[in-house]
Amino acid sequence: MADEEIATQAESGQDVAATNQSPGTTRRSVLQGSVAGIAVAGAMALSGCGPENEPEGEGSSPAEKAGGNAGLSTGHGITATDIQGAERVMGLAYTRAERRQVLTSIDDQIDAVIDARKLRIPLAVAPAMAFDPRLPGKDYGAQANAVKVDVVKSSLPAAEEDIAFASLTHLAHWVRTRQISSRELTELYLARIARYAPKLECFVTVTGDLARAQAAEADAEIATGSYRGPLHGIPYAMKDLMDTSGIRTTWGAVPYKDRIASTDGVVTSKLRDAGAVLLGKTTLGALAYGDIWFGGQTRNPWNIEEGSSGSSAGSASSTAAGLVGFSIGTETWGSIVEPANRCGVTGLRPTFGRVPRTGAMPLSWSMDKIGTICRSVEDTALVLAAINGFDVSDPSSLDVGFEYDGGRSARDLRVGYIPAWFEDTATDVDRAALEAARSAGLDLVEVDLPDLPYASLGQILAAESASAFEELTLSGRDDELRWQEDVSWPNYWRSARLVSAVDLVNIDRFRRQVMGVIHDLFTLVDALIGPTYGGNMGLVTNCTGQPELSFRAGFVKIPSRALFGEAPQGDGAALHRVPFGFSVWGPLFGEENVLLIGKVLDAELGAGQEHPTLKE
């Protein structure tokens, strides 16, 4: 669910290193800065470690040692020198007397934390403070559960490939009118999975027998007129962090690769009730970060020399490759939007709390969201309608209907944009998307956001994810994870343990202020459009809860990218033509606005019809 603010793309001949990136605002910079970031004196004390090379100064000078601090320590062996070392990490400066006072109480703090660690709290237990994106006293309106999309009356194509890459709206029409059976469509996708998935490394588990049984049930029901809706009989894939009873749910990580859930997650159950057919579990970067999982690295179907980004890596890759009708992804910070951008599909990250997370791997209880990855904008509305809803077992679940009318005009909406996002670091595709909005007659409004330290919000994910997977850090089992770079989970979580609880509370208070800022923005406009990596909107709206849609807006020619978008520079780097996305953000529960604008821009740009050429 958590991923990077990638800064990569440019047209052929363009410098891709700086594309859509501002120093100090990408997730990579946040991760790298966390080691030297906010830290608490007590955290250093808990480890029993002091600085190896204490500089001269208060607390370590000969004068202070003569005052008696050198020999003073607690029952846990903590000294004034340890406290001063922690101060330097923290950016504090206590006096000698203040350090001596800290020493009188630090043992009680250490004992309290040690006792808490002994509890080994189950991962499913959420914090007592549940996040609610709604501001007190604000009216967010009511929505009926009603979705209307464009009517499809097409005939089934003769070519299997045209069927495989068709939108969900078309697939649903063909299945409902019995131009193709669910069993035939399921076999078509299973054959493509067998042919292409090993090269793309996008499936952890293929559930062929289950899929055939569910497809046969769907065909029998449809034949008798018991049609459940647009997902009935449609084959799909589930990101492998949502529980499926009796089927592995591995979270993409070595420590959990043999994990089998005893019950279905709520979203799994909702899709089964909608009649969808489960083809299998798609890959994710281990514990919802990146595209490296215990079995390999998931590939971008447009350029298999690079990863598909993550963490919904397999969901985006399989949908882009025409291996499924649609897929389910999750996002904490970029995990739907970023692989959708790289693989050229449509990803919808809904409002926080819309979709219940019961049965999904928790990473950040106040940021995790479940959404969908499809091949067209309106497809995402159909899937969201099926998985939207309240569940009492998720403390942050909200009882809000989902209403979408595809016949409503987007010209009635005020569409904001931030001009600075379309300047030097934007691509030609970004600027073309803005011009497409003008050409389509959308009511464009220039807006701006105040200059605030939004990157500090990343510490919320750091602390919550470190708490969720504390056992791996404390036991040393984090060494089992394949990805062990400076910016990977193991180091990220070790660093997070040095974040001050006081500072984290203040960052959470800042989060409340930012929620007000974003709320005020959406009182001026009905939606915001911009480059997917414009500003810090990915992090900001993942913390404030607003929805985001990413869809294919065009193509760029660039070298193969690493996870964070780094690409080899120079004349020797081969260029690859790959898709490039554009984003729409909306107010809380404003998915209809987002989808209507995305639909207009998608039609105006006309970049969504092409599909990748695959090789076995």
In degrees and rounded to multiples of 5, residue 445 shows phi and psi of: -135, 125
Q: Read off the pLDDT of residues 86-118 as tens digits, 9 standing for 90 and up.
A: 999 889 999 999 999 999 999 999 999 999 999
> For 425-459, how does the pLDDT look when each residue is reduced to its tens digit (9 = 90+)?
899 999 999 999 999 999 999 999 999 999 999 99
**pLDDT tens sequence across 179-191:** 999 999 999 999 9
Task: Report percent pLDDT > 70 for the chain.
Answer: 88
Give dist(CA 51, CA 54) in Å, integer: 6
Q: Encoding tokens for residue 414?
A: 């005020």
pLDDT of residue 217: 98
- The 10s digit of each residue's pLDDT in 343-390 is 999 999 999 999 999 999 999 999 999 999 999 999 999 999 999 999
Residue of 345, 357, 434, 440 lying closest to 395 (CA atoms)? 357
DSSP assignment string, 349-402: E--TTSS--TTBPPS-TTT-EEEEEESSHHHHHHHHHHH----TTSTT------
Higher pLDDT, 20 or 180: 180
Active-site residues, by number, are 239, 311, 335
Torsion of CA 595, 598, 599, 604, to 10 degrees: 170
State phi, psi for 375 to the nearest 5 degrees. -105, 0
User: Mean pLDDT throughout 164-191?
Assistant: 98
Lowest mean pLDDT among 15-19, 47-51, 268-272, 353-357: 15-19
Say whether pLDDT at 14 is over 80: no
Mean pLDDT of 238-252: 98
> 146-453+502-605, which class in CATH?
alpha beta
pLDDT band at residue 564 using 50, 70 and 90 as cut-offs: confident
The answer, yes or no, to whether residue 138 has pLDDT greater than 60, is yes
The reported pLDDT for the residue numbered 84 is 94
Helical ranges in 224-349 per DSSP H:
266-273, 313-320, 337-343
Distance CA 565, CA 293 (A): 18
Predicted pLDDT of residue 58:
42
Query: What is the per-residue pLDDT for 71?
Result: 55
Look up residue 244 and give its DSSP letter: B
Is the confidence at residue 67, as pLDDT, over 80? no
pLDDT of residue 405: 98
C-alpha closest to that of 400 among 185, 160, 140: 140
The structural domains of the chain, with segments of one domain joined by +, span 39-117, 146-453+502-605
Q: Residue 271's pLDDT is what?
A: 99
pLDDT over 50 (residue 596) = yes
Residue 337: closest CA among 552, 71, 557, 94: 552
Q: How far is residue 340 CA from its own chain's centroid? A: 11
pLDDT at 20: 36
Assigned token pair, 582? 């554009």
Residue 583 pLDDT greater than 80, yes or no: yes
Quick one: average pLDDT of 280-303?
A: 98
Give the span between the Cα atoms of 302 and 311, in whole angstroms: 18
Q: How many whole angstroms separate alpha carbon 99 and alpha carbon 97?
A: 5
Query: Strand, helix or coil at 599?
Result: helix
Residue 529 pairs with which residues in a beta bridge? 584
Distance, C-alpha 542 to centroid of its chain: 8
In the predicted model, what is the mean pLDDT of the chain? 90
User: For the chain, what percent of residues have pLDDT higher than 90?
Assistant: 84
Q: What pLDDT digit, counting tens, does each position of 329-343 carry?
A: 999 999 999 999 999
pLDDT value at 585 more than 80 = yes
User: Sorting pLDDT into bands at 50, 70 and 90, what band is 568?
Assistant: low
